Amino acid sequence: MKLSMVIGALIVAGPLTACGTMMTAPSRHFLSHDVAPAADVRTSLSTRRATVTIDPARAQLGEVAWLTEPSADLTGEEQRQLLELLDSQLRSSLQGLAPAPGGRPVVVRAAITRVVPVSPALNAVSTLLLAAPWDRGGAATEIEAVDAETGEQLAAIRIGYFAPITDIKARFSKLSPAEIAIRKAVTDFSALLTPAEPTARIGSNR
């Protein structure tokens, strides 16, 4: 490819890749029950928050699946690396939840549905030409907690996330942006495992 074409592509792609952290999160029909998208479609986020108490002491980690479209961009070892990260992050998250005796036992299932790796070489070139690395990366993930006894979905998330533009260091590592996205997905999912507290009434003295 001619240098002029590379420069032109970078100039066009720059403004597009610099806007927000939204990534399209495709539905792979992994979740046992679909979740409604957020009111703001720009967030590429769908969630279901638990309405009953979940007992982390009786939480089990079930299937952790790779459900992306076939791609030559990632090796089998790189796929395993990302799956192992998702697995370990979920286990750590469940262990960090506050005890809830009497809560429901759950099985947590998760899938990586899209991965966009970055090209460190392309970012090196764009940094030289445009003083910034433009190639962005990230991942899309689906996670749910289902009642271990009834199979009912209690909490779920579908999220697509690009690494923030401010995280420059991640732009020079092929999988770092996807790893950032996976960690965010687990963090956001963990927050859904606790029922929301009732909103206090305006003007209440209590």
Question: For residue range 145-170, what is the model confidence (pLDDT) as tens digits?
Answer: 999 999 999 999 999 988 876 665 55
Q: In this model, does residue 133 exceed pLDDT 60?
A: no
Strand partners, 138: 116, 162
Question: Around 187, how many Cα atoms within 13 Å sit in the side-chain half-sphere?
Answer: 7
Give the start-to-end residue ranges of the domains of the chain: 21-118+136-191
Instruction: Give the pairing of strands 153-162 and 54-66.
Output: unpaired
Q: What is the mean pLDDT of residues 93-97?
A: 92
- DSSP 8-state class, residue 41: G
Report the alpha-carbon distance of residue 132 to residue 104 in Å, rounded. 49
Q: Which token pair is 183?
A: 């960690």
- The crossing angle, in degrees rounded to 10, of helices 3-17 and 120-130 is 90
Report the alpha-carbon distance of residue 4 to residue 14 in Å, rounded. 15
Q: CA 74 from chain center: how many Å?
A: 18
Report the alpha-carbon distance of residue 47 to residue 176 in Å, rounded. 25
Question: What three-state secondary structure class fits 92?
Answer: helix
Instruction: Give the pairing of strands 104-116 and 54-66.
Output: parallel
Q: Which token pair is 50?
A: 């638990």
Banded model confidence at residue 7, pLDDT cuts 50, 70, 90: very low
Question: What three-state secondary structure class fits 89?
Answer: helix
pLDDT of residue 26: 86
In 53-137, DSSP assigns E strands to: 54-66, 104-116
Question: Around 36, how many Cα atoms within 13 Å sit in the side-chain half-sphere?
Answer: 4
Q: In this model, does residue 113 exceed pLDDT 90?
A: yes
Note the pLDDT tens digit of each residue in 26-52.
888 999 999 887 665 555 789 999 999
Closest listed residue to residue 25, CA positions, set 16, 38, 14, 13: 38
Radius of gyration, alpha carbons of the chain: 20
Average pLDDT, the chain: 79
Cβ atoms of 172 and 131 within 8 Å: the answer is no
Write down the pTM of the prediction: 0.79
